[in-house]
Amino acid sequence: MTTMQQLNGRPHREADLPVNYSWLIARELGLAARQLPRLLKGTGLSVAKFLSEDCLLTTPQQVRILRNAMMLSGQPDFGLRLGKRLTPATHGAMGFAALSSPDLQSALRAIHTFLPTRANFVQLQLRRTKGYLECGLSFHVSLDDDIQRCLADTLVKVLVDFGEFVVGHPLDEAEIGFPHPAPDYAAVYSDYLTGQIRFGCKALTLKFPIALCRKPNASANHEFYGLALQQCESMLARLQPQRPSYRNRLKKLLLSHPPGTLGEDEAAASLFMSKRTLARKLKQERCGFRAVRDEILSEQAASYLCDSQLSVEAIAALMNYHDAANFRRAFKRWFGQPPERYRQLGGLRAPSPAPSP
């Protein structure tokens, strides 16, 4: 296959790949903004474009960035290292849907469904074989052996991390088959992956016992899973840039992480600037980090209250509040009323008390 072949009717030279994975590649390499031209060599991208909120990559650009990164890293196990950095929370709406799944089988189905929105040149196929659920990964573009090995390492690490989050323990029962021969760094695979690892297989596959795939996800429930799937498409739409601004760049970044988990220091680092610079940019747009964060949190909290029957305590936990009391205080600050009253009014603000005669 060539990079001009199409997936779902779209040529791979169309720019539709999210840039945040390449930002994470830059962070894994420890690159400062002034060093980014080395990562972007041969892509035709300027640093300003690469760092802009509306940047999308073509498949050839993404592959070239990965190739440059491998050379800059000098680490043969770079794919595994990158996969470790790509935690489940970095995969946007697809990640949220998988993390909220009731079990591993449902999580893998969510990834299968939404993977084209994150990497349209990769396909995940699922099938049952003699007591196992087999995940087959394939590429819709031609890749040289080094790039294919690197991507295989990364994708397997990503899927294993999803699986371990959902089942709540290391996936010792997993069987992993790599199509490439055992590399010189084969001994370090056990530092990143659990289960039985084989090299020189016919295809890139992961196999999980069906019983393991049906083990309940202790951190999710069926009601929230249904809600997460309903919100997945709307969240993807909200992640699209509205207009060039640092406020929207920050919103996009915050929405790609679990609610309330990204601090100001980490947000600034992810945008390749200091905390002070980010604060100055936001001030020029008449907003601040806390205001943007509260805007997102309040919208998510209101949506949970109006679109589900989840208890306030459950919503507080999903919003990553340490206890329901803190969540109630924050909600009253946002909406001027407790969450129970907001739900009773169907999402309307409580009427102001009549003035005293």
Q: How far apart are CA 93 and CA 225, in angstroms?
A: 12
Fold agreement between 77-220 and 241-344: no
* pLDDT for the residue numbered 347: 58
- Beta bridge mates, 134: 127, 207
Q: Provide the total of helices (H) and of strands (E) in the chain, helices listed first.
A: 18, 9
* Exposure b/e, 141-171, CB count within 10 A at least 16 = b: bebeebbbbbbbbbbbbbbbbbbbbbbeeeb
* pLDDT for the residue numbered 2: 33
Structure tokens at 41: 């060599």
Q: How far apart are CA 41 and CA 59, in angstroms?
A: 15
Region of poorest pLDDT, from 148-157, 197-206, 341-350 = 341-350
> Do the beta carbons of residue 83 and residue 153 sit within 8 Å?
yes
Q: What is the fold of 77-220?
A: H-NOX domain (3.90.1520)
| Greater pLDDT, 5 or 186 | 186
Q: How confident is the model at residue 9 (pLDDT cuts 50, 70, 90)?
A: very low
Q: What is the fold of 241-344?
A: Arc Repressor Mutant, subunit A (1.10.10)
Q: How confident is the model at residue 1 (pLDDT cuts 50, 70, 90)?
A: very low
Q: How far apart are CA 270 and CA 53, in angstroms?
A: 12
Judge if pTM exceeds 0.85. Answer: no
* Exposure b/e, 17-51, CB count within 10 A at least 16 = b: bbbbbbbbbbebbebeeeebeebbeebebeeeebb
Structure tokens at 324: 């329901």
* pLDDT for the residue numbered 233: 59
Name the residue ranges covered by the structural domains of the chain: 7-74, 77-220, 241-344
Region of poorest pLDDT, from 13-22, 237-246, 329-338 = 237-246
